[in-house]
Each structure stands twice: as structure tokens, then as C-alpha cells.
Chain A
């Protein structure tokens, strides 16, 4: 038979609890966001808690463990698959929507009003983006708007996950650009054109 002593003690001392106002407020904001189906990131809340971050972290730990897991959305499923297989998550998400790379590329060319003669270049860039080989923050908002409509709202987030084989030590979310050289043309010695700026620009 399970012991309930610890819970009863916790309940009895509940009203004597003195969680600081700021910590209680930040905790409630985090929990509210979670309840809305969002994916709040603890680091943002801990940063706001300043010197009370440890106290807030303790509450959030218990909350994420106690709160029943939600049914995953397609993007979360794609990320999980990526962790298990080593495949870039954007690839899995596109595949889950039943879309081929060529369909995405055709849509980019058409909706962004690009020169159809440069379709092959768009395709090369898209494949690099999908493979986690481009820094998402440098990709134009116009590109993300098209991709969001095609493969899902979190395509930008998913593109920021860099592939690392499962047998290795993990999967990294982008903290640094994957394509480090700050060039603005597909090949460094060429003059940048409209397509280069869409994928290697400043993300506007």
C-alpha cells in the first residue's frame, strides 16, 4: 500500500507556503502557456526570475512531471522521429505532409516570383535548409511564410535543429550558424542574386 504521508504533509503545509510573489507569477505564466498548448521554454522564465531562478526551477520541475503529457502535434512527432533516426526534422515533417521536395521548390519559385530558370538553385538552397545546413535566421521571412503554409507553422524552428547521428552524443538545437561563412552568394566568388539574398541574407 502506498504511503500518502508525504502528500498529506504537503497539503497541510500548503497554506503556510511562502513562495515569493514573482516566482508564483512566473510559474503561473508558464503553466498558463502550457495549458494553451504552447511549448514554453523554461530558460526564458528563469532569466526573468533573476536571483529566484532556483526556486522557480524547482516548481517547474515538479509541474512538468506531474502534468499529464499532451497528444503531440505533427511537428513534435517529426522532432521525435529525428532524434530517434538522425534524419533532419524538416524532412520528416515534409514527408508527413505527403510533399516532395520538388513540390516545395515549385511553390517557392511561383509564390516568390522567382525566375523559373533558376529553379535548380532554389532547390539546392532548399535542400541545404531542410538538412539543417543553413542558419534559419538568415533566411528571408518571405521564404518562411511560404514554408509555413506548406509544411507547418514550426518549420523555422525545425530547420534550426542540426543533425547529429543517434549513436553520437545528441542532437543540437542551433545556437550557432550551421553554415558559418558569412558569404551572401551560393559560391563565395559570385555576385549575390535575389535567390542568394533570400537564403543567405539577413532574414528580412
Chain B
């Protein structure tokens, strides 16, 4: 459940503000490409290809039946494959690809659903992570909303992230 972000992505798609839409994924795509390839130069090369691919599709008014973030991760997946040693040249994403095809979309939703990931955290940690990561509030805003000190928010956030590490590593 990325409700707020999905709504914003949908708004930007409808408004045709493709650069702003893509810019929201800039850091995450660069990081993901690096984590897969472990080479910053190759990762940035791959990330730029991802953005050009997506921009090209958006300019051609391609529509998607899944949230845009799912499209982004699938294009990253396809693109980095081409950077692995021994990758076949014909292993490129077809123009008519369907991000909702098969059960891959369900897999993405299951694994990368932030709301589900934090669902089992202790209440305060879950609330803080939800406000900051999912609703985009600042630490100060989260503190005010929850009636906590800034320090308490920092602590809950850090402890929540440590628990999240355990969950992601399970």
C-alpha cells in the first residue's frame, strides 16, 4: 500500500508531468542499479537507460494497468540483466511488454508493500514509520502529530528500522 505515492504518480501521469514523475524515483533507481551491479559507473549507465526507456514509453502515451512504481522496478530488473557478464543481446524488454502479465505483479506487491512490512512493528514504531515514509511527514511534523518529542521520534524510527532489517532478512 503506497496510497499517497500511487495517487501522486497517477496525478502526474494524467497531467503529463513525466519529468517530475521520474525525478521522484531518481535516488531509488540509482541505488537499486548500484546494489545489483556494485559498480557506480555501470549503475548510473543502467539507471539512465531505465529513465530513457520509461520516458520514451510515457511520451508515446503508453498506459499501465499497475501502479507506476511497479513499472519502474520491472524496467530496472530488465535493464540490469543486460549488464551482467554474459548477458544476451536480445534480452531486452519488448516494446509491447505488459507489467501486469503473469503473477509477477503479485510478487512485487507482496514483497514490496511497505504497509505490510511494518504491520507487525510495535505501535509507536509503526506509526512513526508510517507517517514519515508513507505519508511524507518531516520528523517534526510526526512528533507534533503523535505528541512526542523529536528525540522520541528519532529513537522510534531507528528502532523501527532495525526491526525492519530483521523482517527483510527473514
Contacts and interface: CB of A to CB of B under 8 A. Distances in A.
B47 to A, nearest CB: 8
Contacts of A143: none
Interface in A138-177: 166, 169-173, 175
Contact of B166 (A19, A76, A80): A19
Interface of B: 2, 4-5, 8, 19-20, 22-28, 31-32, 34-36, 38, 40-41, 44-49, 51-52, 55, 69, 73, 103, 106-107, 109-114, 116-117, 119-120, 132-134, 136, 138-139, 154, 157-158, 161-162, 164-170
Interface in A25-49: 25, 27-28, 31-32, 35-37, 39, 41-43, 46
B170 A42 contact: no
Contact of B136 (A27, A31, A70, A79): A70
Q: Is the interface of A mostly helix, strand, loop or mixed?
A: helix
A14 B36 CA distance: 24
Q: Among B36, B103, B169, which residue has the most Cβ atoms of chain A within 10 A? A: B169
A169 B45 CA distance: 6
10 contacts: A6-B110, A11-B167, A19-B169, A35-B161, A37-B138, A41-B31, A62-B112, A69-B28, A70-B27, A175-B41
Contact of A24 (B19, B134, B166): B166
A62 B111 contact: yes
Interface residues of A, number: 60
Contacts of A66: 111-114, 117
Contacts of B19: 77, 80-81, 84
Nearest to A35: B132
B44 A62 contact: no
A24 B165 contact: yes
Contacts of B34: 41-43
A169 B48 CA distance: 8
A83 B162 contact: no
A3 B166 contact: no
B26 to A, nearest CB: 5
A68 interface: yes
Given A43-B40, A76-B23, A81-B19, A23 B165 contact: yes
Q: Which of B25, B31, B120 has the most CB of A within 10 A?
A: B31
Contacts of A46: 38
A80 B22 contact: yes
Contact of B31 (A18, A60, A175): A60
Nearest to B51: A83
A32 B112 contact: no
Nearest to B105: A2
Contacts of B169: 17-19, 23-24, 55, 58-59
A179 to B, nearest CB: 19
Contacts of A19: 165-166, 169
A67 to B, nearest CB: 5
A71 B103 CA distance: 30
Contact of A2 (B49, B109, B133): B109
B40 A80 contact: no
Contact of A71 (B24, B31, B41, B139): B24
Given A11-B119, A71-B136, 6 more contacts: A27-B164, A41-B31, A55-B169, A57-B38, A65-B32, A175-B40
